[in-house]
Structure 1
Amino acid sequence: MTRIFDSHAHFDNDWYDEDRELIMQDATQELLGIINPGTDLETSRLAKEYATQYHNIYAGLGFHPHDAKKMQSTDLQTFAEWAEHPKVVAIGEIGLDYYYDHSPREVQRRVFIEHIDLAKQLHLPIIVHDRDAHGDIMEIIKTEAKGVPGVFHCYSGSLEMAKELLKMGYYLSFGGSATFKNAHKLREVVRFVPLERILLETDSPYLAPEPYRGKRNIPNMVQVVLARVAQERGESTETLAQATNKNISDLFAKIKL
Protein backbone atom coordinates (compact mmCIF):
# COMPACT_ATOMS: atom_id res chain seq x y z
CA MET A 1 0.00 0.00 0.00
CA THR A 2 1.30 3.45 -0.98
CA ARG A 3 2.08 5.75 1.93
CA ILE A 4 0.44 9.13 1.58
CA PHE A 5 1.49 12.75 2.11
CA ASP A 6 -0.42 15.15 4.38
CA SER A 7 0.00 18.45 2.55
CA HIS A 8 -1.09 20.66 5.46
CA ALA A 9 -0.82 20.21 9.25
CA HIS A 10 0.02 22.51 12.17
CA PHE A 11 2.21 20.77 14.74
CA ASP A 12 2.78 24.02 16.63
CA ASN A 13 -0.85 24.28 17.73
CA ASP A 14 -1.46 24.23 21.48
CA TRP A 15 -3.89 21.33 21.07
CA TYR A 16 -0.72 19.22 20.81
CA ASP A 17 1.02 20.60 23.89
CA GLU A 18 0.46 17.42 25.92
CA ASP A 19 1.68 14.89 23.33
CA ARG A 20 3.29 16.76 20.43
CA GLU A 21 6.36 14.53 20.23
CA LEU A 22 4.24 11.38 20.08
CA ILE A 23 1.94 12.84 17.40
CA MET A 24 4.91 13.87 15.30
CA GLN A 25 6.68 10.54 15.65
CA ASP A 26 3.53 8.61 14.70
CA ALA A 27 2.92 10.87 11.70
CA THR A 28 6.46 10.63 10.38
CA GLN A 29 6.42 6.85 10.71
CA GLU A 30 3.03 6.24 9.08
CA LEU A 31 2.97 8.95 6.40
CA LEU A 32 5.25 9.63 3.47
CA GLY A 33 5.57 13.22 4.59
CA ILE A 34 3.87 16.28 6.06
CA ILE A 35 4.00 19.98 5.22
CA ASN A 36 3.74 22.22 8.29
CA PRO A 37 2.93 25.81 7.23
CA GLY A 38 3.66 28.67 9.59
CA THR A 39 1.00 31.23 10.49
CA ASP A 40 3.21 33.98 11.95
CA LEU A 41 6.89 34.57 12.66
CA GLU A 42 7.16 32.22 15.64
CA THR A 43 5.18 29.34 14.14
CA SER A 44 7.20 29.69 10.94
CA ARG A 45 10.36 29.41 13.01
CA LEU A 46 8.95 26.31 14.68
CA ALA A 47 7.97 24.83 11.31
CA LYS A 48 11.57 25.20 10.14
CA GLU A 49 12.78 23.66 13.40
CA TYR A 50 10.46 20.65 13.08
CA ALA A 51 11.58 20.20 9.47
CA THR A 52 15.18 20.13 10.64
CA GLN A 53 14.38 17.60 13.35
CA TYR A 54 12.29 15.12 11.29
CA HIS A 55 13.36 13.71 7.94
CA ASN A 56 9.92 13.91 6.27
CA ILE A 57 8.43 17.09 7.75
CA TYR A 58 8.66 20.17 5.54
CA ALA A 59 7.98 23.82 6.33
CA GLY A 60 6.09 26.79 4.95
CA LEU A 61 6.74 30.37 6.06
CA GLY A 62 4.06 33.02 6.30
CA PHE A 63 1.51 35.11 8.13
CA HIS A 64 -2.01 33.70 8.16
CA PRO A 65 -4.66 36.37 7.48
CA HIS A 66 -5.72 36.14 11.14
CA ASP A 67 -2.20 37.26 12.10
CA ALA A 68 -1.55 39.69 9.25
CA LYS A 69 -1.78 42.67 11.61
CA LYS A 70 1.19 41.29 13.59
CA MET A 71 3.64 41.33 10.69
CA GLN A 72 6.60 43.68 11.12
CA SER A 73 8.55 45.34 8.32
CA THR A 74 11.56 43.07 8.86
CA ASP A 75 9.69 39.76 8.92
CA LEU A 76 9.70 39.14 5.18
CA GLN A 77 13.48 39.58 5.09
CA THR A 78 13.70 37.03 7.89
CA PHE A 79 11.58 34.65 5.82
CA ALA A 80 13.85 35.21 2.83
CA GLU A 81 16.84 34.14 4.94
CA TRP A 82 15.02 31.15 6.43
CA ALA A 83 13.88 30.05 2.96
CA GLU A 84 17.46 29.06 2.18
CA HIS A 85 16.84 26.01 4.38
CA PRO A 86 16.50 22.99 2.06
CA LYS A 87 13.23 21.89 3.66
CA VAL A 88 11.43 25.22 3.52
CA VAL A 89 9.25 24.43 0.52
CA ALA A 90 6.61 27.17 0.31
CA ILE A 91 5.39 30.60 1.35
CA GLY A 92 2.27 30.08 3.40
CA GLU A 93 -0.13 29.82 4.97
CA ILE A 94 -1.22 33.11 3.48
CA GLY A 95 -4.42 34.57 2.08
CA LEU A 96 -7.66 36.21 3.15
CA ASP A 97 -10.23 35.36 5.81
CA TYR A 98 -13.37 37.51 5.87
CA TYR A 99 -15.28 35.12 8.13
CA TYR A 100 -13.49 36.12 11.33
CA ASP A 101 -11.80 39.38 10.27
CA HIS A 102 -9.18 39.02 13.02
CA SER A 103 -7.03 41.41 10.98
CA PRO A 104 -8.45 44.41 9.05
CA ARG A 105 -9.26 43.46 5.47
CA GLU A 106 -7.00 46.08 3.93
CA VAL A 107 -4.12 44.73 6.06
CA GLN A 108 -4.91 41.18 5.00
CA ARG A 109 -4.81 42.17 1.34
CA ARG A 110 -1.56 44.10 1.67
CA VAL A 111 0.20 41.32 3.58
CA PHE A 112 -1.06 38.69 1.13
CA ILE A 113 0.32 40.63 -1.82
CA GLU A 114 3.66 41.17 -0.06
CA HIS A 115 3.96 37.42 0.55
CA ILE A 116 3.16 36.70 -3.10
CA ASP A 117 5.93 39.08 -4.12
CA LEU A 118 8.32 37.26 -1.78
CA ALA A 119 7.34 33.91 -3.31
CA LYS A 120 8.14 35.34 -6.75
CA GLN A 121 11.57 36.45 -5.60
CA LEU A 122 12.32 33.10 -3.97
CA HIS A 123 10.77 30.94 -6.74
CA LEU A 124 8.61 29.14 -4.19
CA PRO A 125 4.94 28.11 -4.44
CA ILE A 126 2.26 29.61 -2.20
CA ILE A 127 -0.16 27.89 0.18
CA VAL A 128 -3.40 29.88 0.09
CA HIS A 129 -6.06 30.24 2.78
CA ASP A 130 -9.41 31.51 1.47
CA ARG A 131 -12.49 31.83 3.64
CA ASP A 132 -15.46 33.94 2.57
CA ALA A 133 -13.13 36.11 0.48
CA HIS A 134 -13.46 34.50 -2.94
CA GLY A 135 -13.89 37.69 -4.98
CA ASP A 136 -10.95 39.58 -3.52
CA ILE A 137 -8.67 36.58 -3.50
CA MET A 138 -9.34 35.82 -7.16
CA GLU A 139 -8.64 39.44 -8.09
CA ILE A 140 -5.31 39.35 -6.27
CA ILE A 141 -4.35 35.98 -7.72
CA LYS A 142 -5.12 37.20 -11.25
CA THR A 143 -3.31 40.53 -10.93
CA GLU A 144 -0.43 39.82 -8.54
CA ALA A 145 0.38 36.11 -8.75
CA LYS A 146 1.03 35.52 -12.44
CA GLY A 147 3.63 32.82 -12.76
CA VAL A 148 3.47 31.87 -9.08
CA PRO A 149 2.42 28.22 -8.56
CA GLY A 150 0.39 27.26 -5.54
CA VAL A 151 -2.38 25.37 -3.83
CA PHE A 152 -5.68 26.48 -2.35
CA HIS A 153 -5.72 24.51 0.86
CA CYS A 154 -8.97 23.13 2.29
CA TYR A 155 -10.68 24.37 -0.84
CA SER A 156 -14.02 26.01 -0.09
CA GLY A 157 -14.94 27.84 -3.30
CA SER A 158 -17.44 27.03 -6.02
CA LEU A 159 -17.03 24.71 -8.99
CA GLU A 160 -16.83 27.77 -11.25
CA MET A 161 -13.99 29.23 -9.17
CA ALA A 162 -12.23 25.86 -9.20
CA LYS A 163 -12.35 25.81 -13.00
CA GLU A 164 -10.73 29.27 -13.14
CA LEU A 165 -7.98 28.28 -10.72
CA LEU A 166 -7.26 25.06 -12.59
CA LYS A 167 -6.91 27.01 -15.84
CA MET A 168 -4.33 29.18 -14.08
CA GLY A 169 -2.38 26.11 -13.00
CA TYR A 170 -3.33 25.92 -9.33
CA TYR A 171 -3.74 22.78 -7.27
CA LEU A 172 -6.73 22.24 -4.98
CA SER A 173 -6.38 20.46 -1.66
CA PHE A 174 -9.16 18.72 0.25
CA GLY A 175 -9.36 17.77 3.90
CA GLY A 176 -11.88 16.70 6.49
CA SER A 177 -14.53 19.15 5.28
CA ALA A 178 -14.89 17.08 2.09
CA THR A 179 -16.20 14.21 4.25
CA PHE A 180 -18.89 16.24 6.06
CA LYS A 181 -22.45 15.08 5.43
CA ASN A 182 -23.67 18.45 4.15
CA ALA A 183 -20.67 19.16 1.88
CA HIS A 184 -22.50 18.31 -1.35
CA LYS A 185 -21.18 21.27 -3.40
CA LEU A 186 -17.63 20.66 -2.23
CA ARG A 187 -17.81 17.02 -3.27
CA GLU A 188 -18.95 18.21 -6.70
CA VAL A 189 -15.58 19.95 -6.93
CA VAL A 190 -13.82 16.85 -5.56
CA ARG A 191 -15.26 14.81 -8.43
CA PHE A 192 -14.30 17.42 -11.03
CA VAL A 193 -10.65 18.15 -10.21
CA PRO A 194 -8.23 16.30 -12.51
CA LEU A 195 -6.12 13.64 -10.84
CA GLU A 196 -2.95 15.61 -11.63
CA ARG A 197 -4.16 18.68 -9.65
CA ILE A 198 -5.49 17.25 -6.40
CA LEU A 199 -3.83 17.21 -2.99
CA LEU A 200 -5.03 15.81 0.34
CA GLU A 201 -4.54 17.21 3.82
CA THR A 202 -5.81 17.24 7.37
CA ASP A 203 -5.30 20.88 8.44
CA SER A 204 -4.82 19.20 11.81
CA PRO A 205 -5.61 19.79 14.58
CA TYR A 206 -8.68 21.32 12.89
CA LEU A 207 -11.41 19.83 10.68
CA ALA A 208 -11.30 16.20 11.74
CA PRO A 209 -13.09 14.08 9.12
CA GLU A 210 -16.29 12.17 9.66
CA PRO A 211 -16.88 10.20 11.87
CA TYR A 212 -14.44 12.15 14.10
CA ARG A 213 -15.85 15.60 13.38
CA GLY A 214 -15.54 17.92 16.38
CA LYS A 215 -12.59 16.03 17.84
CA ARG A 216 -8.91 16.85 17.59
CA ASN A 217 -7.51 16.02 14.19
CA ILE A 218 -4.10 14.41 13.62
CA PRO A 219 -2.07 13.96 10.41
CA ASN A 220 -2.65 10.21 10.29
CA MET A 221 -6.34 10.90 9.66
CA VAL A 222 -5.40 11.89 6.12
CA GLN A 223 -6.00 8.19 5.47
CA VAL A 224 -9.70 8.75 6.24
CA VAL A 225 -9.79 11.67 3.80
CA LEU A 226 -8.04 9.54 1.18
CA ALA A 227 -10.63 6.77 1.48
CA ARG A 228 -13.62 9.14 1.27
CA VAL A 229 -12.27 11.20 -1.62
CA ALA A 230 -11.29 8.07 -3.57
CA GLN A 231 -14.78 6.65 -3.06
CA GLU A 232 -16.35 9.91 -4.25
CA ARG A 233 -14.16 9.98 -7.35
CA GLY A 234 -14.60 6.30 -8.15
CA GLU A 235 -10.87 5.62 -7.87
CA SER A 236 -8.86 3.20 -5.80
CA THR A 237 -7.07 4.60 -2.78
CA GLU A 238 -3.83 3.35 -4.34
CA THR A 239 -4.39 5.33 -7.54
CA LEU A 240 -5.29 8.49 -5.64
CA ALA A 241 -2.41 8.17 -3.17
CA GLN A 242 0.17 7.71 -5.95
CA ALA A 243 -1.23 10.69 -7.86
CA THR A 244 -1.27 13.03 -4.89
CA ASN A 245 2.29 12.07 -3.98
CA LYS A 246 3.42 12.90 -7.52
CA ASN A 247 1.55 16.20 -7.29
CA ILE A 248 3.43 17.06 -4.10
CA SER A 249 6.74 16.65 -5.92
CA ASP A 250 5.49 18.55 -8.96
CA LEU A 251 4.29 21.56 -6.95
CA PHE A 252 6.89 21.69 -4.17
CA ALA A 253 10.12 21.44 -6.11
CA LYS A 254 12.29 20.96 -3.02
CA ILE A 255 10.46 17.76 -2.08
CA LYS A 256 12.00 14.78 -3.83
CA LEU A 257 9.92 11.62 -3.41
Structure 2
Amino acid sequence: MPLWTDAHNHLQDPRLGDAAPVVAAMKAAGVARCIVNATREADWDAVETLSLAHPDFVAPAFGIHPWHAHTATPGWQDRLAGLLEKHPQASIGECGLDQWVSTPPLEIQRPVFIDQLRLGREMDRAVTIHCLKAWGELFEIFKEDPPPPRFLMHSFGGSIEIARRLIPLGAYFSFSGYFLQPRKSAVIEVFRQLPQDRILLETDAPDMLPPPEIISHPLPENHNHPANLAAIGEALAGSLGMSGEALAELTRGNAERCFFP
Protein backbone atom coordinates (compact mmCIF):
# COMPACT_ATOMS: atom_id res chain seq x y z
CA MET A 1 0.00 0.00 0.00
CA PRO A 2 1.36 3.47 -0.87
CA LEU A 3 2.10 5.63 2.15
CA TRP A 4 0.86 9.19 1.75
CA THR A 5 1.59 12.49 3.50
CA ASP A 6 -1.19 15.06 3.84
CA ALA A 7 0.70 18.35 3.58
CA HIS A 8 -2.24 20.43 4.81
CA ASN A 9 -5.39 19.71 6.75
CA HIS A 10 -7.38 21.01 9.72
CA LEU A 11 -7.86 17.88 11.79
CA GLN A 12 -8.77 20.05 14.79
CA ASP A 13 -11.83 21.45 13.00
CA PRO A 14 -15.02 20.57 14.92
CA ARG A 15 -16.72 19.70 11.64
CA LEU A 16 -14.64 16.49 11.57
CA GLY A 17 -15.80 15.42 15.02
CA ASP A 18 -13.72 13.23 17.33
CA ALA A 19 -10.21 12.99 15.92
CA ALA A 20 -9.51 9.41 17.05
CA PRO A 21 -11.70 7.58 14.49
CA VAL A 22 -10.65 10.07 11.82
CA VAL A 23 -6.98 9.31 12.45
CA ALA A 24 -7.70 5.57 12.45
CA ALA A 25 -9.44 5.85 9.08
CA MET A 26 -6.56 7.89 7.68
CA LYS A 27 -4.01 5.31 8.75
CA ALA A 28 -6.13 2.47 7.33
CA ALA A 29 -6.27 4.34 4.02
CA GLY A 30 -2.48 4.64 3.87
CA VAL A 31 -1.91 8.12 5.25
CA ALA A 32 1.37 7.99 7.15
CA ARG A 33 1.67 11.58 8.32
CA CYS A 34 -0.13 14.91 8.15
CA ILE A 35 0.55 18.58 8.77
CA VAL A 36 -2.32 19.94 10.87
CA ASN A 37 -2.74 23.68 10.43
CA ALA A 38 -4.24 26.09 12.90
CA THR A 39 -6.23 29.04 11.59
CA ARG A 40 -6.32 31.33 14.65
CA GLU A 41 -5.01 31.59 18.18
CA ALA A 42 -8.18 29.93 19.49
CA ASP A 43 -7.26 26.57 17.97
CA TRP A 44 -3.53 26.50 18.75
CA ASP A 45 -4.23 24.43 21.86
CA ALA A 46 -6.28 21.91 19.88
CA VAL A 47 -3.55 21.50 17.28
CA GLU A 48 -0.96 21.08 20.02
CA THR A 49 -3.11 18.46 21.76
CA LEU A 50 -3.41 16.46 18.53
CA SER A 51 0.34 16.56 17.97
CA LEU A 52 0.99 15.32 21.51
CA ALA A 53 -1.59 12.55 21.18
CA HIS A 54 -0.25 11.40 17.80
CA PRO A 55 3.43 12.44 17.81
CA ASP A 56 4.51 10.25 14.90
CA PHE A 57 1.47 11.09 12.80
CA VAL A 58 0.53 14.75 13.39
CA ALA A 59 3.03 17.53 12.76
CA PRO A 60 1.61 20.80 14.06
CA ALA A 61 1.49 24.12 12.24
CA PHE A 62 0.60 27.17 14.30
CA GLY A 63 -0.51 30.38 12.65
CA ILE A 64 -3.23 32.89 11.87
CA HIS A 65 -5.23 32.58 8.65
CA PRO A 66 -5.92 35.83 6.76
CA TRP A 67 -9.65 35.38 7.34
CA HIS A 68 -8.96 35.60 11.08
CA ALA A 69 -6.23 38.25 11.08
CA HIS A 70 -8.56 40.64 12.91
CA THR A 71 -8.77 38.22 15.86
CA ALA A 72 -5.04 38.43 16.65
CA THR A 73 -4.55 39.62 20.22
CA PRO A 74 -1.67 41.65 21.66
CA GLY A 75 1.43 39.54 22.19
CA TRP A 76 0.41 36.79 19.79
CA GLN A 77 3.82 36.85 18.14
CA ASP A 78 5.56 35.90 21.40
CA ARG A 79 3.06 33.13 22.08
CA LEU A 80 3.58 31.75 18.59
CA ALA A 81 7.35 31.85 18.99
CA GLY A 82 6.99 30.00 22.30
CA LEU A 83 4.98 27.21 20.66
CA LEU A 84 7.55 26.87 17.90
CA GLU A 85 10.34 26.61 20.45
CA LYS A 86 8.37 23.98 22.36
CA HIS A 87 7.71 21.93 19.21
CA PRO A 88 10.84 21.57 17.04
CA GLN A 89 8.83 19.77 14.33
CA ALA A 90 6.26 22.57 14.11
CA SER A 91 5.86 24.89 11.15
CA ILE A 92 3.95 28.16 10.74
CA GLY A 93 0.55 28.11 9.16
CA GLU A 94 -1.88 28.71 7.91
CA CYS A 95 -1.18 32.32 7.03
CA GLY A 96 -1.30 34.55 3.98
CA LEU A 97 -3.38 37.01 2.01
CA ASP A 98 -6.91 36.83 0.64
CA GLN A 99 -8.72 39.37 -1.52
CA TRP A 100 -11.59 36.97 -2.24
CA VAL A 101 -13.01 38.16 1.09
CA SER A 102 -13.59 41.81 1.92
CA THR A 103 -13.33 41.38 5.70
CA PRO A 104 -10.82 41.65 7.20
CA PRO A 105 -9.24 43.98 4.64
CA LEU A 106 -5.68 43.58 3.41
CA GLU A 107 -4.62 46.42 5.71
CA ILE A 108 -5.31 44.09 8.64
CA GLN A 109 -4.14 40.88 6.96
CA ARG A 110 -0.79 42.28 5.83
CA PRO A 111 1.00 42.95 9.15
CA VAL A 112 -0.16 39.63 10.61
CA PHE A 113 1.21 37.81 7.58
CA ILE A 114 4.49 39.74 7.62
CA ASP A 115 5.10 38.93 11.27
CA GLN A 116 4.63 35.23 10.53
CA LEU A 117 7.09 35.40 7.63
CA ARG A 118 9.62 37.04 9.92
CA LEU A 119 9.20 34.33 12.54
CA GLY A 120 9.70 31.71 9.85
CA ARG A 121 12.96 33.31 8.78
CA GLU A 122 14.23 33.88 12.32
CA MET A 123 13.39 30.37 13.52
CA ASP A 124 14.09 28.54 10.25
CA ARG A 125 10.60 27.08 10.03
CA ALA A 126 8.59 26.37 6.92
CA VAL A 127 5.55 28.59 6.39
CA THR A 128 2.30 27.44 4.79
CA ILE A 129 0.82 30.25 2.70
CA HIS A 130 -2.75 30.82 1.59
CA CYS A 131 -2.96 33.28 -1.30
CA LEU A 132 -6.19 34.01 -3.11
CA LYS A 133 -6.56 36.83 -5.62
CA ALA A 134 -3.60 38.60 -4.01
CA TRP A 135 -0.54 37.59 -6.04
CA GLY A 136 0.57 41.17 -6.70
CA GLU A 137 0.40 41.99 -3.02
CA LEU A 138 2.27 38.79 -2.14
CA PHE A 139 5.21 39.65 -4.40
CA GLU A 140 5.25 43.23 -3.11
CA ILE A 141 5.56 41.95 0.45
CA PHE A 142 8.28 39.50 -0.54
CA LYS A 143 10.43 42.40 -1.76
CA GLU A 144 10.75 43.74 1.79
CA ASP A 145 9.92 40.65 3.83
CA PRO A 146 10.98 37.54 1.94
CA PRO A 147 9.71 34.13 2.93
CA PRO A 148 11.91 31.63 4.77
CA PRO A 149 13.96 29.30 2.56
CA ARG A 150 11.16 26.70 2.51
CA PHE A 151 7.48 27.52 2.19
CA LEU A 152 4.34 25.83 0.91
CA MET A 153 1.80 27.44 -1.38
CA HIS A 154 -1.14 25.32 -0.29
CA SER A 155 -3.99 24.38 -2.64
CA PHE A 156 -2.01 26.14 -5.35
CA GLY A 157 -4.29 27.33 -8.13
CA GLY A 158 -2.01 29.95 -9.67
CA SER A 159 -0.48 30.00 -13.12
CA ILE A 160 2.79 28.38 -14.13
CA GLU A 161 4.19 31.90 -14.57
CA ILE A 162 3.44 32.69 -10.92
CA ALA A 163 4.94 29.35 -9.87
CA ARG A 164 8.15 30.08 -11.78
CA ARG A 165 8.54 33.34 -9.83
CA LEU A 166 8.04 31.49 -6.55
CA ILE A 167 10.28 28.48 -7.18
CA PRO A 168 13.62 30.35 -6.82
CA LEU A 169 12.40 31.69 -3.47
CA GLY A 170 11.96 28.17 -2.08
CA ALA A 171 8.31 27.41 -2.84
CA TYR A 172 6.64 24.04 -2.74
CA PHE A 173 3.14 23.58 -4.15
CA SER A 174 0.41 21.29 -2.83
CA PHE A 175 -2.43 19.85 -4.85
CA SER A 176 -5.86 19.37 -3.26
CA GLY A 177 -8.64 17.10 -4.41
CA TYR A 178 -11.00 19.92 -5.32
CA PHE A 179 -8.80 20.55 -8.36
CA LEU A 180 -9.83 17.17 -9.78
CA GLN A 181 -13.10 18.85 -10.78
CA PRO A 182 -13.21 18.85 -14.62
CA ARG A 183 -13.52 22.64 -14.73
CA LYS A 184 -10.21 22.90 -12.84
CA SER A 185 -8.19 20.96 -15.43
CA ALA A 186 -5.86 23.95 -15.90
CA VAL A 187 -4.52 23.35 -12.39
CA ILE A 188 -3.48 19.80 -13.28
CA GLU A 189 -1.71 21.18 -16.34
CA VAL A 190 0.26 23.53 -14.09
CA PHE A 191 1.26 20.61 -11.85
CA ARG A 192 2.46 18.71 -14.92
CA GLN A 193 4.89 21.57 -15.55
CA LEU A 194 6.14 22.02 -11.99
CA PRO A 195 9.48 20.53 -10.94
CA GLN A 196 8.64 17.17 -9.44
CA ASP A 197 10.73 17.88 -6.37
CA ARG A 198 8.37 20.73 -5.41
CA ILE A 199 5.01 18.89 -5.57
CA LEU A 200 3.06 17.97 -2.42
CA LEU A 201 -0.41 16.57 -1.84
CA GLU A 202 -3.10 17.73 0.59
CA THR A 203 -6.75 17.41 1.50
CA ASP A 204 -7.38 20.77 3.24
CA ALA A 205 -9.98 18.71 5.13
CA PRO A 206 -12.73 19.38 6.00
CA ASP A 207 -12.75 21.72 2.97
CA MET A 208 -11.84 21.38 -0.73
CA LEU A 209 -14.01 18.31 -1.33
CA PRO A 210 -12.97 16.26 -4.39
CA PRO A 211 -15.47 15.17 -7.07
CA PRO A 212 -17.97 12.49 -5.98
CA GLU A 213 -16.22 9.67 -7.84
CA ILE A 214 -13.00 10.35 -5.91
CA ILE A 215 -14.57 10.37 -2.44
CA SER A 216 -13.63 7.19 -0.57
CA HIS A 217 -14.76 8.41 2.86
CA PRO A 218 -17.97 10.44 2.59
CA LEU A 219 -19.03 12.76 5.39
CA PRO A 220 -22.31 14.63 5.99
CA GLU A 221 -22.78 18.16 4.69
CA ASN A 222 -20.15 17.73 1.96
CA HIS A 223 -17.26 17.84 4.41
CA ASN A 224 -13.99 16.40 3.18
CA HIS A 225 -12.57 13.49 5.18
CA PRO A 226 -8.75 13.53 5.30
CA ALA A 227 -8.72 9.80 4.54
CA ASN A 228 -9.74 10.80 1.00
CA LEU A 229 -6.06 11.64 0.47
CA ALA A 230 -5.16 8.23 -0.95
CA ALA A 231 -7.93 8.37 -3.57
CA ILE A 232 -6.93 11.95 -4.43
CA GLY A 233 -3.32 10.87 -4.80
CA GLU A 234 -4.17 7.96 -7.06
CA ALA A 235 -6.28 10.22 -9.27
CA LEU A 236 -3.55 12.85 -9.52
CA ALA A 237 -0.95 10.18 -10.22
CA GLY A 238 -2.98 8.98 -13.17
CA SER A 239 -3.23 12.53 -14.52
CA LEU A 240 0.53 12.95 -14.19
CA GLY A 241 1.30 9.61 -15.83
CA MET A 242 2.71 8.12 -12.64
CA SER A 243 1.85 5.18 -10.44
CA GLY A 244 0.26 5.87 -7.10
CA GLU A 245 3.25 4.34 -5.36
CA ALA A 246 5.63 6.66 -7.21
CA LEU A 247 3.60 9.78 -6.41
CA ALA A 248 3.24 8.77 -2.76
CA GLU A 249 7.00 8.30 -2.45
CA LEU A 250 7.71 11.54 -4.31
CA THR A 251 5.35 13.71 -2.28
CA ARG A 252 6.38 12.08 1.00
CA GLY A 253 10.03 12.91 0.31
CA ASN A 254 9.15 16.43 -0.76
CA ALA A 255 7.17 16.99 2.43
CA GLU A 256 10.16 15.82 4.48
CA ARG A 257 12.44 18.33 2.76
CA CYS A 258 9.94 21.15 3.10
CA PHE A 259 8.89 20.64 6.71
CA PHE A 260 11.54 18.46 8.38
CA PRO A 261 14.93 19.13 6.77
State the TM-score, normalizing by the size of structure 2.
0.91
Does 1:210 pair with 2:211? yes
What code does the residue aligned with 1:244 have? T
Question: Equivalent residue for 1:136?
Answer: 137
Q: Which structure shows the higher helix fraction?
A: 2
| C-alpha separation in 2, matches of 1:165 and 1:95 | 14
Conservation of the 8 A alpha-carbon contact between 1:129 and 1:153 = yes
Task: Give unmatched runs, 5+ long, in structure 1.
Answer: none
Question: Equivalent residue for 1:93?
Answer: 94
Question: Equivalent residue for 1:221?
Answer: 228
Question: Equivalent residue for 1:119?
Answer: 120
What code does the residue aligned with 1:45 have? D
Conservation of the 8 A alpha-carbon contact between 1:28 and 1:57 = no
Conservation of the 8 A alpha-carbon contact between 1:36 and 1:60 = yes
Question: Equivalent residue for 1:27?
Answer: 26
Secondary structure in 2 matching 1:7: strand
Secondary structure in 1 matching 2:35: strand
Question: Equivalent residue for 1:236?
Answer: 243
Bigger CA drift: 199-208 or 210-219?
Answer: 210-219
| C-alpha separation in 1, matches of 2:245 and 2:144 | 38
- The CA RMSD measured in Å over matched residues stands at 1.7
Bigger CA drift: 57-66 or 28-37?
Answer: 28-37
Q: Offset of 1:142 from its aligned partner?
A: 3.9
Task: Give unmatched runs, 5+ long, in structure 2.
Answer: none
| C-alpha separation in 1, matches of 2:47 and 2:14 | 14
| C-alpha separation in 2, matches of 1:163 and 1:69 | 32
| C-alpha separation in 1, matches of 2:227 and 2:171 | 25
| C-alpha separation in 1, matches of 2:250 and 2:21 | 28
Secondary structure in 2 matching 1:91: strand
| C-alpha separation in 2, matches of 1:166 and 1:51 | 30
State the TM-score, normalizing by the size of structure 1.
0.92
| C-alpha separation in 2, matches of 1:60 and 1:147 | 15
1:66-215 to 2 correspondence within 5 Å? 66-86=67-87, 88-211=89-212, 212=215, 215=222
Q: Offset of 1:180 from its aligned partner?
A: 0.8
Secondary structure in 2 matching 1:32: strand
User: Structure 1 residues 84 and 146, CA, compared in 2 at 3 Å: closer, same or farther?
Assistant: closer
User: Structure 1 residues 175 and 135, CA, compared in 2 at 3 Å: closer, same or farther?
Assistant: same
Conservation of the 8 A alpha-carbon contact between 2:44 and 2:62 = yes
Question: Equivalent residue for 1:15?
Answer: 15
Deviations 1:146-195 (A, max 9, x none): 54310000001111101111232210000012201101221111111121
Bigger CA drift: 23-32 or 161-170?
Answer: 23-32
| Equivalent residues, number | 253
Secondary structure in 1 matching 2:108: helix
User: Structure 1 residues 12 and 105, CA, compared in 2 at 3 Å: closer, same or farther?
Assistant: same
Select the structure with the greater relative contact order (CA < 8 A; seq sep ≥ 6): 2
Deviations 1:44-95 (A, max 9, x none): 2211110000131110010000000111221110111111233642111000
Conservation of the 8 A alpha-carbon contact between 2:121 and 2:147 = no
Give identity over the alignment, percent.
Answer: 27
| C-alpha separation in 2, matches of 1:82 and 1:46 | 12
What code does the residue aligned with 1:2 have? P
Conservation of the 8 A alpha-carbon contact between 2:176 and 2:208 = yes
What code does the residue aligned with 1:108 have? Q
What code does the residue aligned with 1:208 have? L
Secondary structure in 1 matching 2:206: coil
What code does the residue aligned with 2:9 have? A
Deviations 1:100-143 (A, max 9, x none): 23312111011100110111121101000011111111222343
Bigger CA drift: 21-30 or 191-200?
Answer: 21-30
Conservation of the 8 A alpha-carbon contact between 2:125 and 2:148 = no
